Chains A and B, each alone.
Chain A
Amino acid sequence: MLEVTDLVAGYGRSAVLRGVSLRVPAGGLVGLLGPNGAGKTTLARAISGLLACRSGSVRFDGRPVHRLRAQEIVGLGLLHVPQGRLLFPEMTVQENLEMGAYRADSRAAVQQGFDRVHTLFPILAERRFQLAGALSGGQQQMLAIGRALMLRPRLLMLDEPSIGLAPLVIDEIFAVIRRINAEGTAILLAEQNARRVLALAGSSVILESGRVAAEGTGAQLLADDLVRETYLGLH
């Protein structure tokens, strides 16, 4: 479904990604691991069109999307929940969700989105008239994910959804990610929290200094001592 080939991208003159290839199959859940600065966020931004690709290609359903602008890529059903959530802090929870349905073609579609998000995250229904900036960190992450789910994306890219959250809240977020995936949405999950991702993902890719250092299923990666110790920090 998503096919990234030899992608090179970066900021200014320096390339952060130096030729990255990965695939996310339809309905799959792929983990994207690696230390800080490995290029996970840059990769997510290049795929969603926030950052221009220098060379290589990104295909979604076989269609090249690396020359499209971010707002056009969204329309294809490829949604990016960025690191740091990037909510609209002075808008209410409900208005943030409405923005997630900005490209909806009917009121019914917006209502369906609300129903779905409120089922996944009941707290967002309760807090709907609060400003997004006044929510707790966990609730903000839920809102960021919910906002991306409003129009039933076909592929959801999550960048560090567990960052700065308490373990119980992370459990809740990961349970929802599992559920969204089980309902048919493909997921690319960038995380530093390797253990949790490996338990959840069908396969994972480990980035290191802008290149793919290793890839495979959780079992394969964990069986490799070098990968365990060098890239995953597990013993």
Chain B
Amino acid sequence: MDVSTALQLLFSGLSIGAIYALVALALVIPFKASGVLNFGQGQMVTLGAYIALTLSQAGLPYYAVVPLTLLIAGLAGMAIERVFIRRLVRAPEFTIVIATFALGLMVQDAIRLHWQDNDFPLPVPFSTDPWRFGSVRVNPVFVWIVLATVVLVVVLAAFFRHSRAGKAMRAVSQNQEAARLMGISVEGVFSATWAIGTAIGALAGILFAPVTGINPGIGDLIIKAFVAAVIGGFSSLPGAVVGGLALGEIETFSGALAGSTLKNVSAFVVLILMLLVRPYGLFGTAGARRV
């Protein structure tokens, strides 16, 4: 493999990894705060893509579609938490698993009912002709994915480190009772983290849409996001990002070196190895949490 091929693979691994990282963040943020893992998160990615498609078909420009989609998805996440999850927080883990899974299926099938299994393009406001740097070709869509992910991660880091609401979310994830005794509304924090998680999932859908087209299966990448979250330790936000990027690279390079069959298997090989060697992930700490 020559250097320019390697560079090109590195970059495309980075961009697919960025998508995995986003969806892993969308899983981990509400999980850390509320202890509920949203098994329907993949369909939130799908939902985001279709919200963007609808707004785009209504004639809105891309730069309006993106923030509006995030807003609508955030409100949808908040509504899901209020209407369903809040009533289930004290239910057995398995009930929650099934409930979130079912919710995801409902969303996906509702979408399928309306749009069928067609592929729709999501137009982007820039040329998708590859940029050439010497012999390295870079797809501008991938650059946009990486840029948007970097911006989101920086904004999130600043939010959790410096803002009052972000600190309250960290407090709730560390000790709910103590957070209540500080006057923090734990229910409000749950809602907010579901809003954030769903909005980030939707962003992943928007960013991924130009790569694959929009179809009801776009959210299937959730499985990779689970692997990414496990690599990162499932309770660490930096871990989710690192796990996503690592998985993107591993997949891309194993695909290039050993063919596309291995590409799809590699994520699960990594998952099994990770669970055998370091079950708490790269950044995780031991401790029983409900799943």
Contact = CB atoms under 8 A, between A and B. Distances in A.
B39 to A, nearest CB: 27
B263 to A, nearest CB: 37
Contact of A71 (B164, B167, B175, B183): B183
B182 to A, nearest CB: 5
B5 to A, nearest CB: 42
A86 B175 CA distance: 7
Interface string B149-179: 0000000000000001001101100110111
Interface in A136-164: 147-148
A69 B181 CA distance: 10
B180 A50 contact: yes
A99 B184 contact: yes
A186 to B, nearest CB: 17
B174 A102 contact: no
A90 B183 contact: no
B57 interface: no
Contact of A75 (B168, B170, B178, B183): B183
Interface residues on chain B, size class: 10 to 19
A143 B186 CA distance: 22
Contacts of A89: 174-175
A145 to B, nearest CB: 12
B171 A86 contact: no
A10 interface: no
Given A50-B177, A86-B177, A91 B182 contact: no
B178 A102 contact: no
A6 interface: no
Identify the interface centre among B164, B167, B174, B186: most chain A CB within 10 Å of its CB: B174
B179 A99 contact: yes
Nearest to B186: A71
Interface residues of A, number: 25
B167 A95 contact: yes
Interface string A35-50: 0000000000000111
A80 B174 contact: no
Given A91-B167, A99-B168, A102-B168, A74 B183 contact: yes
B184 A48 contact: no
Nearest to B184: A102
Contacts of A88: 170-171, 174-175, 178-179
B171 A99 contact: yes
Given A86-B175, A87-B178, A88-B175, A102 B183 contact: yes
A179 to B, nearest CB: 22
Nearest to A50: B177
A100 B170 CA distance: 14
A98 B181 CA distance: 13
B185 interface: yes
A79 B164 CA distance: 20
Given A89-B174, A90-B170, A90-B174, A102 B164 contact: yes
Interface of A: 48-50, 69-71, 74-75, 79-80, 82, 86-91, 95, 98-100, 102-103, 147-148
6 contacts: A70-B180, A71-B183, A74-B183, A89-B174, A90-B170, A98-B167
The 9 closest A-B pairs by CB, nearest first: A86-B178, A74-B183, A70-B180, A103-B183, A88-B174, A99-B182, A102-B182, A71-B183, A99-B171
Interface of B: 164, 167-168, 170-171, 174-175, 177-186
